[in-house]
């Protein structure tokens, strides 16, 4: 099972910006590297996940700063809960937590808070396999 984690615009036509003007790309790269290291150190994922960084393909002639996303390949669906929990914990450790876009099997959710309810909402959405292509996970649905 593969999950892609991204920041900032997050892909086609999105406008979920994480950070301010001027240096957004550098901020995004720093977030990618920070989350990558966090996930590598996560005991619950050790042996259950392959974590790597990747660059999103940009249009010819456009400039990119290299690392745009964290790619995680999970050994089983049980590790999915550990991954979402680890991402939420990483967000909670940041002084200005960026929004994190998680994509699995074409279903994208945007993590805007780090509450246990949000983690449950993300897992429920993915386990049901239904829902809109870009479902916000901000914990405000209640």
pLDDT(64) > 50: yes
Residue 34 · residue 131 · CB < 8 Å: no
pTM for the predicted model, two decimal places: 0.74
**How high does pLDDT run on average in the chain?**
77
Identify the weakest region by mean pLDDT among 95-104, 109-118, 122-131.
Answer: 122-131
H/E element, 50: strand 49-54
pLDDT value at position 82? Answer: 93
For the chain, what is the radius of gyration of the CA atoms? Answer: 14
Closest CA to 79 of 116, 111, 123: 123
Domains of the chain, CATH where assigned: 2-98 (3.30.70)
Asked if the model's pLDDT at residue 23 lies above 90, the reply is: no
Is residue 53 over pLDDT 50?
yes
Nearest to 35 by CA among 11, 74, 71: 71
């Amino acid at each position: 099972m593969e999950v892609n984690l991204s920041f900032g615009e997050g892909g086609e036509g999105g406008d979920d910006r994480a950070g301010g003007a001027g240096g957004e790309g550098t901020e995004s790269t720093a977030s990618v590297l920070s989350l990558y290291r966090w996930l590598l150190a996560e005991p619950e994922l050790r042996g259950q996940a392959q974590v790597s960084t990747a660059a999103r393909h940009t249009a010819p002639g456009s400039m990119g700063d290299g690392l745009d996303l964290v790619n995680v390949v999970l050994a089983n669906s049980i590790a999915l809960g550990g991954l979402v929990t680890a991402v939420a914990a990483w967000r909670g450790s940041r002084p200005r937590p960026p929004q994190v876009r998680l994509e699995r099997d074409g279903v994208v959710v945007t993590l805007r808070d780090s509450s246990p309810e949000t983690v449950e909402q993300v897992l429920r959405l993915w386990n049901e396999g239904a829902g809109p292509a870009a479902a916000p996970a901000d914990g405000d649905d209640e």
